[in-house]
């Protein structure tokens, strides 16, 4: 598969790349960013941390605002951040920010007109990992995953449905139970149709209730997050983890909101936590 490096910059002794490629999953060009820490030049493969972004975001939001490179360079971790949806000519869109382009919700759509291109589940679980493993020095036996908001939802569901693939899973302000909140109702109904039973495999709380298990989770949420009570509902995840015996470290960060000011503040803590497990 041919890759085009569209930008490259030196940072913390490593290389920050932005990469474009033709995706068979989405039928479009897709873009992702990848940080190769200085240890990547020493030979051998390194652990990789996948970061899934939230509503309205591209790869660029965390790349420019996430402040992850110093910690990744310290711990020798490759950091990969894909886009949140297919884009481009012929790709359907919606006027609302929380549906359509920029809001793929990490599912494979089954409903028209979305089903042709909006296949983000296949992209982030199959195509992109295979591409990165083939082209960059990553150790597929040492993978972690994290994400923010819609991407936190994606990180949790991808990890829960792929037992043993990820040694570590964390999230920033995740949508933990999309079947029970407005953002999720809109996205899951629009992409997957009205059968709520089909939604359960893309709902972290439902997956845990249905028997999916992880050893542990790390979640950070700001107490001043405007979406906390209506869209994020961390108490539902806490209840499900308690019932399932999953160790959940849920940190409620006083005064922090939903933005990258919040994410960047605790990014190094998450990377350190992943590094201990990778």
Catalytic residues: 149, 225, 258
Residue 64 CA to residue 66 CA, distance in Å, equals 6
The DSSP result for 198-261, as a single string, is HHGGG-HHHHHHTT---SEEEEEEETT-TTIIIII-HHHHHHHHHHHT-EEEEEEETT--SSHH
Q: Is the peptide bond before 226 cis (omega within 30 degrees of 0)?
A: no
Is residue 30 within 8 A of residue 86, CB to CB? The reply is yes
Nearest-Å Rg of the Cα atoms of the chain is 17
The residues, ordered by sequence, that sit 6+ positions from 69 with a Cβ below 8 Å of its Cβ are 11, 12, 14, 16, 35, 37, 79
Structural contact between residues 139 and 46, judged by C-beta atoms closer than 8 angstroms: yes
State how beta strands 29-36 and 14-22 pair.
antiparallel
Instruction: Using alpha carbons, select from 234, 258, 100 the residue that is nearest to residue 175.
Output: 234
Asked whether 148 and 59 are in contact (CB, 8 A), the reply is no
Backbone φ and ψ for 179, nearest 5 degrees, come out as -65, -15
């Amino acid at each position: 598969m041919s890759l085009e490096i569209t930008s490259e910059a030196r940072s913390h002794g490593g290389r920050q790349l932005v990469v474009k490629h033709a995706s068979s999953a989405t039928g479009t060009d897709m873009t992702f960013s990848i940080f190769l820490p200085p240890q990547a030049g020493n030979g051998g493969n390194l652990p990789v941390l996948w970061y899934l972004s939230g509503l309205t975001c591209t790869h660029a939001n965390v790349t420019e605002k996430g402040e992850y490179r110093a910690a990744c360079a310290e711990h020798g971790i490759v950091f990969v951040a894909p886009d949140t949806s297919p884009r481009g000519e012929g790709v359907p869109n919606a006027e609302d920010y929380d549906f359509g382009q920029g809001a793929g919700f990490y599912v494979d759509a089954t409903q028209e007109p979305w089903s042709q291109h909006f296949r983000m589940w296949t992209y982030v679980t199959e195509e992109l990992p295979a591409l990165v493993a083939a082209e960059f020095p990553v150790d597929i036996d040492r993978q972690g995953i994290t994400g923010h908001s819609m991407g936190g939802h994606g990180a949790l569901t991808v990890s829960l449905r792929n037992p043993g693939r990820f040694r570590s899973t964390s999230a920033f302000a995740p949508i933990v139970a999309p079947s029970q909140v407005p953002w999720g109702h809109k996205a899951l109904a629009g992409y997957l149709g009205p059968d709520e039973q089909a939604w359960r495999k893309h709902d972290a709380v439902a997956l845990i209730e249905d028997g999916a298990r992880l050893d542990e989770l790390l979640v950070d949420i700001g107490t001043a997050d405007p979406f906390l009570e209506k869209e994020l509902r961390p108490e539902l995840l806490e209840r499900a983890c308690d019932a399932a015996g999953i160790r959940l470290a849920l940190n409620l960060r006083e005064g922090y909101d939903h933005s990258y000011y919040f994410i960047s503040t605790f990014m190094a803590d998450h990377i350190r936590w992943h590094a201990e497990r990778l």
